[in-house]
Structures are given as C-alpha cells and as structure tokens.
Chain A
Amino acid sequence: MKCGLSLDVRDIDETTINIDPIQVGGRLTADAMKAVIAYGDGYSVCDNCRKPNRLDMIKSPPIDAFHRDLAAFVNMDEARVVPGARRAFQAVAGTYIEKGDPVLLTALSHYTEFLSVEAYGGVPLEIQKSSENIITADAAGEKIDSVKREYGRPPKLLYVDHFDYQFGNEHEVKGIIKVAKQNDIPVLYNGAYTVGIMPVDGRDLGADFVVGSAHKSMASPAPSGVIAVTKERAEEVFRTTKAQADLTKRTFGIKEVEMMGCTLMGVTLVGMMASFPHVRERVKHWDCHLSNGRMIVDALLAIDGTTVKSEYPRKHSLTRIDTTGSFDTVARTHKKRGFFLTSALKEKGIAGTIPGATKVWKFNTYGMTDAQARYTAKAFQDIALQNGLIVLR
C-alpha cells in the first residue's frame, strides 16, 4: 500500500512489536494521530496568531497554556518547545559558550551535545565513566578540579544525561549537579530518555535547564522537544531580539533570539499537545513499563551465554545486551549468518533490532502491553531453543 506515488505505508507498529531503542517512546497516542490528521498543513497553528505574534503566546489552540503546563510538568519556571533536544542544547550553548571555553560533558554524552559545544567554539571535555559505565559525582568533581587547574577557571557549562543512550544506565545526576553548583557551573539536564516516560523534577535536581525529546519520549512527531529553565536562566536563554535593520529601521518585536523566533508551527506542536495529557499520566506508571522490561531482560539472561552490558537490575527500558555467547554462536554456522536472529524475530512479529547484530545490541521495551511483553520474552527463548541453545528456566 502506498501513501501517494512512492511512499510505502509504514505499518511496523501495527504489524509487529517494535523494540527499536529510539522509537518506542515517541510513538503517537491516538489523540496525537487525530491531531496530525487535522493539523497537517504547514503553519496550521497560526490561524489565530495575534500581536505580539509569538508561538508561546497563541491562545487558540491553547499553546500559551501548554507552555505553562510543560514547565510545571518538569517543575521548572518557563518552557519553550523546540525542534528536538539538540536544538535546546544549541540554544543553551549559544547563550553561554564563547570561543575557548571549557565545557563539561561525559564519556557517555550524545554526539549532538558535542556538536552544540563545537558550534560556538567551546572545548568539550568529558567526565570519565566508571568501570560499570556510570558517571559519578566524584568523577565530575575530579574533572571540574582538573579543568580549573588547566584553564584557571571552572567549566562554563555542564551537560549531564540522566540515562544515557548507549547503556540506558542511570547516572548520579543529583550529585553531579550539586558538585557543579558548588563551582558555580550552570547545568543542563538531558532528559531525552526520561522526560515523558518517568517523573522528572528539575527543581529538586537543581538543574538550570531541563531538556526533553518529545519525539523520543513524549509520544510526538519529529522533530520536537522541550527546554524548561529556571526564572533566572529564562532571561538569558529566552532573551528577546534587540536588532534593528540599518536601512529599513525594522525591529522584530519580542521574538526570542535562541529560538529563532517561532519554533514548532504546526503538526509537531499539536502532536505534542494532544499527547500531553496521556504523557502526564503515563509517567506515573513508569514502574509497570520497567517491570515488563525487566521480565524480558531476565528471559534473555536465562538463555545460556547471554550477559547484560547495562547496569543490572535494570532501571530503564533501554538495555544493551551481549549475546556473543548465545545467539552469535548460532550465527557462526547458520545459513543466514548474523541475519538469522532478525529474521527469526521478524517471523514472530518482532522488529526494531539492527539487522545482522548477534553480538552486542540494544532494544527498548517501553510502551508494551503486558501481553506483548510476555510474548516478546517467550519469543526470544523460543528462538534460542529452536536453534539448539540452552534456556535455564
């Protein structure tokens, strides 16, 4: 079936259980799908834009109220919607980083955080991870001291991911933020894998900036995200234009420089808004999602030779698993080689793994129903048994 001439219908989530590490938290709710139908046209939220002509002040649809709700959702003072978490990194970097400034990231930071530092001439420096792939407050403190010795000043900014994209491990964000604050370093909390799937309280954490990815974790179309900040930081990151054109003498109202004026002017924003009531509710049920994920991880670990690379017991639904000693031993002699696992999963209606991967790979169980979680756990073990592996029950 086609959408128009050349686009195949994408029905992966209707026909399979999708365990793609980055896709599951961004799947739309029914209400978001309906909003997408109604608001698909370009600047669709601008029908009732009135002076002072800024996205976050539009009352119909209630975008102004949504911004307040977003800030409250992560317990911060002000929020803006952005085209993905990366654009929030860019806004913060653009506000604070000058050429040559040392900026702290971590050994597990996402590449877009590095790019945002590079874009403004900052020097990205990593906090070391532990042998268990955890970023600790102690390691942050040591790195801050090291930067102060080398640069004669503290880092200009610190980015920390609550859960990282590589292992889905939880890092000592509260302790790291505390150490940063003791050194007057503003902190960007990267909640790409938390905001929208589990409760996040930015004020309790002590963050200056809370960043979320709506297309990753808030059941929204891409690209979409949120940046929420303290009142003090709002004046800086959300500063308004002071520019005046030299020939025409035009000025540009109260457009915000780092936001490049208005950000999400259509389907992405209404998708976020339509999903939001459900997202606000679903974070209360994070334990259920985690429990399903743990069951599937345990089912995999029961396959002899399988180990988990992520911290264990799991604290997140994103997991890095090592099947070198199990599924990869099958791949060595199987006629489909490494593709046997993807193929076997596909036959059972499970999708989202990297084709050919049988050694170390990631999956995310977020959003499954209980029945789907049980089905997935059994499917992995059935594939193991069908291929001569031992399953320890």
Chain B
Amino acid sequence: MSKRAVDSVFQAMFLLTDLRVILRDTAPVHELDESRQAMVARTLAELEEQVKVIRKEMVG
C-alpha cells in the first residue's frame, strides 16, 4: 500500500463530492447547462485518473 493510493482515494471522494454538489444545485430536474456539463466531464476525467492510480496501487 502507498501514500499514493491514500491520496487518490481521498481525491476520488472529493471529486465525487463536487458532482454531489452539482446535483444539489440543479435539483430537482438536474438539467445541466453547457458550463455544468463541461464541469462534470472534467471531473469525471480526473476521477478516472484517480481510479487508475488506485487500481494500480492496490490491485497491481
């Protein structure tokens, strides 16, 4: 196990938290404008990077 894995787990949870807040800000219909869609896309891309690190560090 590594500090890298720990950092990535936290970072992934923080990125998901950003998505959670977007859900709150757009409730109840969750219609995302272009700006928010772009933000979600960027967040998901970063999240996928963090998941890759977690997989590499913790699964091999």
Q: Contact residues of A with B, CB < 8 Å? A: 13-17, 27, 29-30, 33-34, 37-38, 348-350, 369, 371-372, 375
Contact = CB atoms under 8 A, between A and B. Distances in A.
A372 B27 contact: yes
Q: Interface residues of A: mostly helix, strand, loop or mixed?
A: helix
Interface string B25-47: 11111000000000000000000
Contacts of B23: 14
B17 A30 contact: yes
B27 A13 contact: yes
Interface residues of B, number: 14
A17 B17 contact: no
B43 to A, nearest CB: 11
Contact of B20 (A14, A17, A38): A14
Nearest to B28: A349
A14 B28 CA distance: 7
Contacts of B17: 30, 33-34, 37
A350 B14 CA distance: 27
A371 to B, nearest CB: 8
A34 B14 contact: yes
Contact of A33 (B10, B20, B28, B29): B20
Contacts of B25: 369, 372
A375 B20 CA distance: 20
B1 interface: no
A107 to B, nearest CB: 37
Contacts of A37: 10, 13-14, 17
Nearest to A30: B21
B49 interface: no
A375 B18 contact: no
A-B CB proximity, top 6 nearest: A349-B28, A14-B23, A30-B21, A33-B17, A34-B14, A13-B24
Contacts of B14: 34, 37
B54 to A, nearest CB: 15
A27 to B, nearest CB: 8
A15 B28 CA distance: 5
A346 to B, nearest CB: 10
B29 A375 contact: yes
A246 B20 CA distance: 55
Contacts of A29: 21
Given A37-B10, A37-B13, A38-B10, A30 B18 contact: yes
Residue from A16, A30, A372 with most neighbouring chain B CB atoms (10 Å): A30
Interface in B1-24: 10, 13-14, 17-18, 20-21, 23-24
A14 B25 CA distance: 8
A380 to B, nearest CB: 14
A38 B17 CA distance: 12
